[in-house]
Amino acid sequence: MVTRKVLIVGGGIAGWMTAARLNAVLNRDGRKFADISLIESSEAPSITSGEATTPDIIRFLAILGIDQRDFMRRVGATFRQSSKFVNWLSNSGEYFYHTFSMQRPGSVDRSAQHWLRSNRSVPFAETVSAQPQLCEMNLAPLMLGRSDFGSALSYALHVDEARFASYLRELSAAAGVVHHCDRMIDIELAESGDIAAVRTKSGQRLEADLFIDCTGSQALLSDKKLGVAWVDCSQSLVCDRALSINVPYEQHYPGYVHPYTTVTALSAGWVSDIPLQDARSLRYVYSSEFLGDDEAEQELRAIEGSHADTLASTLVHFKTGHRQNAWVRNCIAIGGASSSIESLEPTALYMIDLAAAMLVDHFPLGDEIAPLAYRYNRIMVNRYYEILDFNNLHYCLTRRTDTKFWLEAQRPERINGRLQAKLNFWQIKRPTPSDFEDQFFPGQPDVRLRPDDLPGDYRSPVDTAGLWDYQDYECILFGMDFLKKECDEWYGPERPDAAVVRHVVERLMLAKQKLPPHEVWLQEFCGMPDYESSVRMKP
């Protein structure tokens, strides 16, 4: 057995999630395939920032052997059962849910077909899932005692990114990952063009077989040293700024802790509201072409209220796109060094974990690296474009015309060809699982990602439904009134009320008896303070 040296350059959440995943899977049961080290500068600031996750986070914790409740206590985590999208269709206070747990009746799923034939009196997601109403009631997805509520509800978590990284650093160091608290000042290349070593401020020369670039948008190894090109995808998503404000509950407690992420459309983008155990993390993602930074801050503070006037803000510039190849020679870019996309659907931590998981799957046991990198890059670029297209979907279905941003976001030129082919097809056939068997739709362009003959897999990306399947598309499509005009023509104006699946009705009837308020569960199992009582006790 050959043990390969792996050096992760850059800490933060990308570096420590990668270190933890690699170490947990490659070095276990008496085996050691990787000698893992990580270098990060103590000068790097640690900024509190709420992040939403996908349900895959639960599997990540299980792989690391982490107790979920201990984890939630340590990182200030809360439950996330859905995303609630507000004012995306017409800016009239309307909303819809993208939920996780759905109950489909029988062996043949005709729920969407029945809903399209109805008068849409009940939002689609609420006809097939109890979670939208559970979220409206602010209930936790777990009982306080032994569960007898039926099949488990799927959920994700909201986490504090800084505390999450610190927790993983502690676990990884205890499990054998070598931590160099130092600053990289130079990168050495071998004659072959591979990276040979990095030099540090303290005088160390750190060699490795594989180097993982977790230096964020600077991409010090992939971009600055190896010159891997950046593929710009801002044609599909125009936002390029993220302004964040954290609202501590000690300063303002709204009286609840939502078990979901709220995503509210604003004048030039959208704001996410991510609840933690001690604060809410607000992030306004907007386009600098249509809104100045000072104006964005004024808008966000005005919407939040006067209690936000004195709170500090953090502004981040980003550009939507990805490295042409994440894995080049013996260097793999992960996190912001590899790709960037607005977190409309929260995928930042998901993509980090996916990259680490795929590196485990393609970890070189011999001398052949190129074939492994070839497949790794194809998988990662497919998943990136799946996320790009799904985010693009939210914009192209809006009917908002109140600002220049919304007029621009829905222009036909902003809808990429892959997504447009799906929408055209779904106008004559509702989404079903078979749509992701072959992944190519009539009229879908087959355009190489790189129009030259250089070695590599630059085929047009395809949607493999690795993250979102037809049910997820239904939530967004029907939540934003897709096929409304067509259904009026096909089925006439007089149609029956929308029917709710019997299992959903039964679950909702039991919910108030079985499931506690979200904050009560957090107080019971995570030691979250009772902020409501504290507010009442103030003079």
Residue pLDDT, tens place only, 476-499? 999 999 999 999 999 998 899 999
Note the pLDDT tens digit of each residue in 240-249: 999 999 999 9
Contact 394, 265 (CB under 8 A): no
Q: Are strands 34-40 and 178-181 parallel, antiparallel or unpaired?
A: parallel
Note the pLDDT tens digit of each residue in 1-30: 689 999 999 999 999 999 999 999 999 888
Q: Over 60: is that where the pLDDT of 539 sits? A: no
| Integer angstrom CA distances of residue 20 from 30, 34, 169 | 17, 12, 8
CA torsion sign for 519, 520, 525, 527 is: positive
CA torsion sign for 327, 330, 333, 337 is: negative
pLDDT band at 459 (very low <50, low <70, confident <90, very high): confident
Phi/psi-derived region of residue 93, left when phi > 0, alpha when psi is between -120 and 50, beta in every other case: left
User: Rounded CA gap, 354 and 213, in Å?
Assistant: 15
Task: Give the largest Cα separation in the chain, rounded.
Answer: 78
pTM: 0.95
Average pLDDT in the chain? 93
pLDDT band at 182 (very low <50, low <70, confident <90, very high): very high
Taking residues 186-214, what's their average pLDDT? Answer: 97
User: Rounded CA gap, 162 and 8, in Å?
Assistant: 18
Note the pLDDT tens digit of each residue in 271-305: 999 999 999 999 999 999 999 999 999 999 999 99
Please, what are the domains in the chain?
4-56+160-233+323-382 (3.50.50.60)
Please report, as a single letter, which amino acid is at residue 90: S
Taking residues 329-341, what's their average pLDDT? Answer: 97
